[in-house]
């Protein structure tokens, strides 16, 4: 355990120490209204812990997680479709990827008009953000198979279903997990920023309302809590990856991760 968690914790302690000591502030000539000190942030977290954690676990976290799952599933489904129909690979894949270029400031208000102020509209925003990385990565994994492997399958009279489940799907999994990992951060920041516009509660609401009235410690407390949730999501996906594809060289090589 210490071997795995030791280094990041050591770095964390060092960073926090430097930060509280004012190293970053001195180095970059920052003031506390641009970047609050760790003690201020921790104080704010403690003061508002019930609200912050409730927002994280009941509102923003679930928005991110649900959006991640929804966007991931949709993305994977489209990837399967595109991999089956070559014409779509050339025609539809770039369009699916281009959804990644639509900014939240455009999507969020429209989502609110359709789905209201609550969580559904934020989940929709997150799903859109996560969709493109998943499509691109999953497609690559499903499609980019060595011809020899395909020939081997056909020579063994494998059915298309076998080819999919025994060859394409496993080959795609490392790519899928890469997309999910990238997706966790997109999902958190997406949920956070979606809550800036037309929302009722959540970490994003706390963040944006406080940052514009100079209440930096509370705003950064919301960021820290969001980061913790994001790390937890990322960690969850990593654990899932180890459970699902323990055979993949990138997972094996690390040994006891």
Closer Cβ to other proteins, 80 or 223, answer by number: 223
Evaluate the CA torsion angle 115, 118, 120, 121 in order and state its sign: positive
**Segment near other proteins (CB under 8 A), from 73-81, 152-160, 161-169, 221-229?**
221-229
- Kindly state the smallest distance separating residue 159's Cβ from other proteins, in Å: 21
**Segment near other proteins (CB under 8 A), from 41-49, 105-113, 151-159, 162-170?**
105-113
Q: Contact at 8 Å (CB) between 137 and 181?
A: no
From the list 23, 46, 57, 113, which residue makes contact with other proteins (rule: CB under 8 A)? 113
From the list 42, 73, 97, 163, which residue makes contact with other proteins (rule: CB under 8 A)? 97
Number of CB atoms found within 10 A of residue 208's CB: 18
Number of CB atoms found within 10 A of residue 181's CB: 17
**Segment near other proteins (CB under 8 A), from 42-50, 69-77, 158-166, 216-224?**
216-224
The yes or no reply on residue 110 touching other proteins (CB under 8 A) is yes
The yes or no reply on residue 239 touching other proteins (CB under 8 A) is no
- 3-state secondary structure at position 36: coil
Closer Cβ to other proteins, 73 or 143, answer by number: 143
83: Cα within 13 Å, side-chain hemisphere: 24
- Kindly state the smallest distance separating residue 60's Cβ from other proteins, in Å: 11
Q: Contact at 8 Å (CB) between 210 and 222?
A: yes
The yes or no reply on residue 246 touching other proteins (CB under 8 A) is no
Tell which residue, 15, 45, 20, 46, has the closest CA to residue 32. Answer: 20
Q: Which residues contact 162 (CB under 8 A, 6 or more apart)?
A: 153
From the list 1, 2, 33, 156, which residue makes contact with other proteins (rule: CB under 8 A)? 33
The yes or no reply on residue 178 touching other proteins (CB under 8 A) is yes
- Kindly state the smallest distance separating residue 39's Cβ from other proteins, in Å: 16
The yes or no reply on residue 87 touching other proteins (CB under 8 A) is yes
The yes or no reply on residue 154 touching other proteins (CB under 8 A) is no
Q: Contact at 8 Å (CB) between 130 and 68?
A: yes
**Cα–Cα distance for residue pair 107/99, rounded to 1 Å:** 10
From the list 144, 160, 239, 240, which residue makes contact with other proteins (rule: CB under 8 A)? 144
The yes or no reply on residue 242 touching other proteins (CB under 8 A) is no
**Cα–Cα distance for residue pair 44/12, rounded to 1 Å:** 19
The yes or no reply on residue 95 touching other proteins (CB under 8 A) is yes
- 3-state secondary structure at position 187: helix
- Kindly state the smallest distance separating residue 162's Cβ from other proteins, in Å: 19
């Amino acid at each position: 355990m210490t071997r795995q968690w030791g280094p990041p914790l050591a770095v964390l302690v060092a960073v926090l120490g430097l930060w509280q000591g004012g190293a970053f502030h001195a180095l970059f000539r920052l003031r506390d209204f641009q970047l609050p000190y760790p003690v201020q942030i921790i104080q704010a977290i403690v003061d508002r812990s019930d609200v912050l954690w409730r927002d994280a676990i009941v509102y923003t976290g679930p928005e991110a997680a649900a959006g991640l799952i929804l966007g991931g599933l949709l993305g994977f489904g489209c990837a399967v479709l595109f991999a089956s129909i070559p014409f779509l690979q050339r025609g539809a894949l770039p369009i699916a990827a281009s959804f990644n270029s639509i900014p939240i400031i455009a999507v969020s208000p429209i989502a609110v008009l359709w789905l209201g102020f609550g969580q559904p509209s934020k989940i929709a925003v997150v799903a859109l953000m996560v969709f493109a990385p998943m499509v691109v990565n999953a497609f690559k994994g499903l499609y980019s198979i060595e011809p020899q492997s395909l020939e081997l399958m056909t020579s063994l009279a494998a059915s298309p279903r076998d080819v999919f489940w025994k060859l394409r799907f496993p080959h795609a999994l490392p790519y899928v997990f890469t997309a999910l990992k990238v997706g966790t951060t997109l999902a958190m920041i997406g949920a956070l920023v979606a809550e800036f516009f037309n929302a009722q509660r959540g970490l994003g609401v706390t963040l944006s309302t406080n940052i514009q009235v100079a209440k930096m410690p509370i705003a950064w407390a919301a960021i820290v809590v969001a980061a913790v949730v994001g790390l937890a999501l990322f960690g969850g996906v990593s654990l899932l990856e180890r459970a699902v594809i323990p055979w993949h060289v990138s997972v094996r090589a690390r040994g006891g991760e």
